[in-house]
Structure 1
Amino acid sequence: GGGRAAARAGLWLALLVLPFVLFVVYPLGVLVKTSLVSSETGEVTLRYYRDLLTIPRYLDKTWNTLAIAFLTTGVSLALGVPLSFYLWKRNFPGKRLLVTLLVVPYMTPNYILALAVVFLFGQNGLLAFLLRALLGDAGLRLPFDVFFTYHGILLVFIFHSLSLVVFLVLALLSGIETDYEEAARSLGASTLTALRRVILPMALPAITGAAVLVFSRVMVDYVVISLMGGHRYATLAVEVVNRFFGYLTYEHAAAMAVFLSGMTMAIMYAYLYWFRWRGGA
């Protein structure tokens, strides 16, 4: 009867909750405890968090993390949103294939994208080879390097993130009826004004969601920074791994991991709150 149904529902709920507790709540709890308890004295302390804000090494890593995340997000949106609107408005031969190909970089592992950037834009890559052959200068060097520079890091992240922005924004735009734009134009608005005043606000949830996903993803990335940035442009995610597996200083690593997790979760929850508030407004 009712008791058996309730027991079955409770069992299913437990089966759903248990993996979340084991793989999310418990590890986060261990990280928080490790970051707050001194291994030397066993006392509760905020020292490891204070170090993140005072020691130059950690401040540099924090700056690199935020700078790379903001730059990647900004450039990806600046390129991806106009491209999404263009693909939505225009029909041309090969459009379907182009949209399909745009998704490929997002499905490609980051380390393969890093190799692709090196093969294309490195000093011994395809672009350098073509310019040397074209100009007849065997010693020609490109004016930028992709190894251990912001350029290389950003190129990989933008290749990866641009696909996500286009995919999310174009998916939302494809569901918008043309009646909205036509109504605005019938009232005297130009095509550009109709897009800016009518369609763009409707696409804002997808644009904001793409920005949140790109920013959060870049903040916690380890592979691209390790391959393309080296020590100079190491981020908090790289420092966490180095501290855990290299220097074995778990407390600082835990504090950085909690900081990163807290930042990404705060950004995600802020977006969800804004999305709910906007839907109810």
Structure 2
Amino acid sequence: MSRIQHSKKKQSIPGFGLTMGLSTLYLSLLVLIPLSLVFIYSARLGWTAFWNDVTDPRVVASYKLSFLTAFSAALVNLVFGLLFAWVLSRYTFPLKRIVDGLVDLPFALPTAVAGITLTTLYSEKGWIGKWLPFDVSFTPIGITLALIFVGLPFVVRMVQPVLQNFEHEVEEASASLGATPFQTFRRVIFPQLLPAALSGFSLAFARSLGEYGSVVFIAGNMPFKTEIAPLMIMTKLEQFDYPAATAIAVVMLVISFALILLINLIQWWSRIRYASH
């Protein structure tokens, strides 16, 4: 009987060779080959020209702004994403389904529309901006705000399923042993949330680094002040300077990959650490 079931199971799904081959082909066509072309085009510059392009003071300023605002936005989304996920998973309130659906709005809304809307709201004469004691539009603060908008769903949707599947009996057992609510959260709930939260953080960070549409309107694109790296790439492309554009893209790609790898290593370490306890 077991042999019959094993035979049916083997026939019900494709073999490893076929699925692995199709997955590799798909990954190569959509990811590996396009990324390799970025390095190939940038290599046409030669080392001296490549170095001059990627270390141009205006380009370096765009690197700093892009990474600083993306990291800041991802940190804010990490905190408030956890809060949103907690509320949506643990409480019942009127219009909960609508609020839950609004979290995914940045996925569906065109980024250009989001940028124009945020710029209008937070300009000096905007509905919100006119009441603020500092400028938001055309400043790094405005860029960070736009990146928070596009990155929030990543953290919420990564953490929410973990909270929904969490066994409440574990929390009750912790409370019955005399733990305070804060101790229960820190020692029981948070270790389970940390890997998902770090995954959401890395996704929000990566999404923010490549964001263009929602940022270009609210940034103002002032050299050395509010120019982001994706805008510098677009500027080079408009000038038909494709090698220089790919050179900037290579630097962004390498640094982004290194940072995301570091975040994944921290995530792996956290799983190993808390699993051993």
TM-score if structure 1 supplies the norm length? 0.78
Partners of 1:225 and 1:238 within 8 A in 2: no
The letter of the residue matching 1:252 is A
Deviations 1:16-64 (A, max 9, x none): 54443344333322221222233xxxxx5254146534x3112101111
Q: Secondary structure at the match of 2:221?
A: coil
How many residues are aligned here?
257
Question: Over aligned residues, Cα RMSD in angstroms?
Answer: 2.9
Q: Does 1:163 align with 2:165?
A: no
1:58 matched residue in structure 2: 59
Deviation at 1:244, TM superposition (A): 1.9
Match of 2:227, SS state, is: coil
Sequence identity, in percent?
A: 29
CA contact 2:146–2:215 (8 Å) conserved in 1: no
Alpha-carbon spacing, 1:143–1:71, altered in 2? closer, same or farther (3 Å): same
Name the CA shift for 1:24/1:122 in 2 (closer, same or farther; >3 Å).
same
- Structure 1 residues 158 and 276, CA gap change in structure 2 (3 angstroms): closer
Match of 1:35 in 2: 42
Letter in 2 for 1:58: V
The aligned residue for residue 147 of structure 1 is 137
Structure 1 letter corresponding to 2:76: V
Return the letter of the residue paired with 2:77.
Answer: S
Q: Is the 8 A contact 1:169 1:206 kept in 2?
A: yes
Distance (Å, rounded) in 2 between the aligned partners of 1:212 and 1:126: 32
Please give the secondary structure, in 1, of the residue aligned with 2:104.
helix
CA distance in 1, matches of 2:88, 2:23: 40
3-state secondary structure, aligned to 1:126: coil
Q: CA deviation at 1:89?
A: 3.0
Q: Summarize deviations over 1:125-168 as a string: whole Å, max 9, x none.
A: 3346xxxxxxxxxxx77534443112322222212222332222
Q: Which runs of 5+ in 2 are unaligned?
A: 1-14
Partners of 2:186 and 2:230 in 1: CA distance: 38
Matched ranges for 1:96-111 at <5 A? 96-111=97-112
Greater shift in the superposed pair: 158-167 or 236-245: 158-167
Paired residue type of 1:260: M
Tell me if structure 2 keeps the 8 A contact 1:110–1:156: no
Match of 2:248 among 248, 253, 256: 256
> Structure 2 CA distance, aligned partners of 1:186 and 1:11?
52
Task: Please give the residue correspondences for 1:40-189 in structure 2 after superposition, counting only pairs within 5 Å.
Answer: 44-45=46-47, 47-49=49-51, 51-53=53-55, 55-127=56-128, 142-189=132-179
Instruction: List alignment gaps of at least 5 residues for structure 1.
Output: 1-7, 39-43, 129-139
User: Aligned partners of 2:49 and 2:193: how far apart in 1?
Assistant: 44
Q: Distance in 1 between matches of 2:186 and 2:269?
A: 22
Q: CA deviation at 1:257?
A: 0.8
- Kept after mapping to 1: 8 A contact 2:116/2:214: no
Match of 1:192 among 164, 176, 182: 182
Equivalent residue number for residue 21 of structure 1: 28
CA contact (8 A) 2:104 2:153 kept: yes
